[in-house]
Structure 1
Amino acid sequence: MSAYVQPAVLASTANVNRSWVTKAAQLGLVNSSALDGEDVIVVRVFAFVDQLVWPGKKRSRSEARAMEPWQSLAVNAARDAARDPATKMDSILWITPEGVEVTNDFGAHTAFVLAHQRTNFVAVPIGEWIAELPPNLETIFHWPRKILDTTITVQDTEISLLAFSTIPQQVTVFATSRAAFDDTTYQKVRQHASSQHPGSALRIIEHQTKGGRSHWAELYDLPDGGLIRRPLDDISLRNEYGPQLKHFGRRPDRETK
């Protein structure tokens, strides 16, 4: 179970106004004296579905109303997903006027869409929302601890560095640039990471973003100079290091003129 969180902090974490926490408590969806990471997800989904109006339906914002069955199902499914080990970062909570469904992989996502082509539905990225819970509020995802987030300049090129503490005395460093690293750039990255975390073994992973494409590779230096690249899979890295790495991968570096 994650740590207790104050209502105001929960609202901020869920990216909603604090009034949504109050409304959720009044409806019995959360216990305001025992709020935790699951409740962040519940309140976020509740705020979403409470404002959702299906085509052909009318509803006044000022009118007091009870939750509709599909809304209750969505909130309950959100809480279940936040504690279900089958939930992945790519999991989606599908909401329709008749009910809800959670799918956990691309094949299941596609099957749902094909089966509901003639109905109204919305997709909530429930896996990403759960994965983005901050430390101490995690429910099922527990990511390696981030210990470095900075930018260095090597040969007039900015290189973004993101490092994680994975196992004792080992640091995994992700380095993003437009072009493939040469031996000089690789050594500069190693030197900077070593100066920040002396005594730790370093694992360097290069991320190239040139041309709108994303390539990941673990780098190894040869005794006589030069580098060896071992390609890595983007999805596997995201599943191991979480949404922080995903956002890092989307941020292209800028070369200085």
Structure 2
Amino acid sequence: MAQHQLKLSAVAAIAGLSESWAWKARDQGVLHEPYSPEDVVALRVYAFVSQIVWPGVRRPRSERQSLELWQEAAVEKAREAFSDADTTPDTALWVLEDKVELVTTPWERAAVDLRLLDGKAAFRIPVGLWIAEVPDALDRRRRSSKQAA
């Protein structure tokens, strides 16, 4: 995918999130200038995982929350998937409290279920689908800015 430099507000808009999510991600070191299309997916994953509270874990809303290692790992795995030639729309990111795993094939998904999920809470994030949506979103944005000009 051709490299595009984006503004932080564009990253948020393409991700379908408010700019406040982008500011939080920037302030926590998730996003860095220059912003690129891979930041769109990183921001979506960040917004998702930053809201997860595992059973038995207390997180007071009034306290500023810093990223935990598993959250950072999820964002980095999403970045890896963005530039991985093996990523397809079926690629998924499994997020567990103590592990993050990127899978693409149905067999890999089944293996994660058998190997890791026994009685554990987990989330499956459709990063492959989110990655596949980015080029169309960039094209729509480019066309709308040309029409506005």
TM range (shorter): 0.7 to 0.9
Structure 1 equivalent of residue 17 of structure 2: 16
Structure 1: unaligned runs, 5 residues or longer: 139-257
Other structure's SS at 1:95 match: strand
- Deviation sequence 1:200-243 (CA, Å, 0-9, x none): xxxxxxxxxxxxxxxxxxxxxxxxxxxxxxxxxxxxxxxxxxxx
In the alignment, the residues of structure 2 paired with residue 30 and residue 52 of structure 1 have an alpha-carbon distance, to the nearest angstrom, of: 19
1:45-194 pair list within 5 angstroms: 45-115=45-115, 116-135=117-136, 137=138
In the alignment, the residues of structure 2 paired with residue 123 and residue 50 of structure 1 have an alpha-carbon distance, to the nearest angstrom, of: 14
Deviation at 1:102, TM superposition (A): 0.4
TM-score (normalised: structure 2): 0.85
Aligned residues: 137
Deviation at 1:87, TM superposition (A): 0.8
In the alignment, the residues of structure 2 paired with residue 136 and residue 97 of structure 1 have an alpha-carbon distance, to the nearest angstrom, of: 32
Query: Which protein has greater RCO, CA pairs closer than 8 Å, 6+ apart?
Result: 2
- Deviation sequence 1:13-56 (CA, Å, 0-9, x none): 1121211111111122211x311110001111001110111112
CA contact (8 A) 1:95 1:121 kept: yes
Structure 2: unaligned runs, 5 residues or longer: 140-149
TM-score (normalised: structure 1): 0.51
In the alignment, the residues of structure 1 paired with residue 21 and residue 137 of structure 2 have an alpha-carbon distance, to the nearest angstrom, of: 22
Deviation at 1:82, TM superposition (A): 0.6
In the alignment, the residues of structure 1 paired with residue 23 and residue 62 of structure 2 have an alpha-carbon distance, to the nearest angstrom, of: 16
Deviation at 1:58, TM superposition (A): 2.0
Question: What one-letter code is carried by the residue in structure 2 that aligns with 1:133?
Answer: V
Over the aligned positions, Cα root-mean-square deviation in angstroms equals 1.6
Deviation at 1:119, TM superposition (A): 1.4
Query: In terms of Rg, which structure is larger?
Result: 1
CA contact (8 A) 2:73 2:100 kept: yes
In the alignment, the residues of structure 1 paired with residue 99 and residue 77 of structure 2 have an alpha-carbon distance, to the nearest angstrom, of: 10
CA contact (8 A) 1:2 1:137 kept: no
In the alignment, the residues of structure 2 paired with residue 79 and residue 135 of structure 1 have an alpha-carbon distance, to the nearest angstrom, of: 18
1:206-217 pair list within 5 angstroms: none
Name the one with the larger helix percent: 2
